[in-house]
Amino acid sequence: MKTILFSLMLICTLVISCNSQNNTNNNMEEIKSPHYSNTDTNQVVVPNAEWKNLLSTEVYHVAREKGTERPYTSKFESSKEIGTYYCAVCGNPLFKSDTKFESGCGWPSFYQPLTKSSIIYTPDNTHGMKRTEVQCGRCHSHLGHVFNDGPLPTGLRYCINGVVLDFKKADEAKKRYDDKH
C-alpha cells in the first residue's frame, strides 16, 4: 500500500513539474514565433490555427480574438525603462518609450506610434461603443484602441494591452547593433 501511495505521489509531482515547465516555456519572452523579427518589414499572414499553436493562450486571446487583459496587470503599465516596444506576436517595432505616459487607465499608454506603418486603424463598434481599434501593421494582431484624450503633441492615447507587447532596453539594442557591425 505504501509503495502504491508513494508511486502516485511521485507521478503527481512529475505531472505538476512538467505542467509548470510548459507554462514557463509558453512565455513570449522565452520562445519567439518563427515569424518574429524586429527588422523584417514584410507582412505576416498566418492562419489563426497556426498562431494558436505558436502563442501563449493569453497572447492568442488578446492578439487574435481581440480580447483585453485585466487593467493594472501588465508589467509595462508603470514601467519607466528606456527602449522600444515591439509586437509580441511578430516583433514589429511599435512605440518608443519616450512616447509612453501615465494615463491612469490601467494599460500601457502611448501618444504616438514609432512610424505611420507601425499601426493600422480599424473601426470597432462592439459593446455599443464607437472606437478605433489599433492593430499591428505587420501581422494585424489586435493591440488595443486609440482615443482622443492624450497629451500633446498628438492629443492621442494609444491604450495597449501589455500582453501583446515585447520590450527591449535601449542599451540592449545598441549592443546587438554594435556586435553585428
Domain annotation for the chain: domains and CATH numbers: 32-180 (2.170.150.20)
> Which of the residues are catalytic?
159
Rounded mean pLDDT, 142-169 = 97
Rounded mean pLDDT, 70-92 = 95
* pLDDT higher than 50, residue 15: no
**Spatial separation of the C-alpha atoms in residues 168 and 179, rounded to whole Å:** 16
**Spatial separation of the C-alpha atoms in residues 106 and 75, rounded to whole Å:** 11
Question: Could you give the C-alpha distances from 82 to 95, 132, 155, 167, 171, in angstroms and in order?
Answer: 11, 27, 22, 9, 9
Read off the pLDDT band of 84 (50, 70, 90). very high
Q: In degrees, to the nearest 5, what angle opens at C-alpha 179 toward C-alphas 178 and 180?
A: 90
Q: Which pLDDT belongs to residue 8? A: 36
**Spatial separation of the C-alpha atoms in residues 86 and 67, rounded to whole Å:** 18
Cβ atoms of 114 and 93 closer than 8 Å: yes
**Spatial separation of the C-alpha atoms in residues 40 and 49, rounded to whole Å:** 22
Q: Which pLDDT belongs to residue 109? A: 97
Cβ atoms of 109 and 159 closer than 8 Å: yes
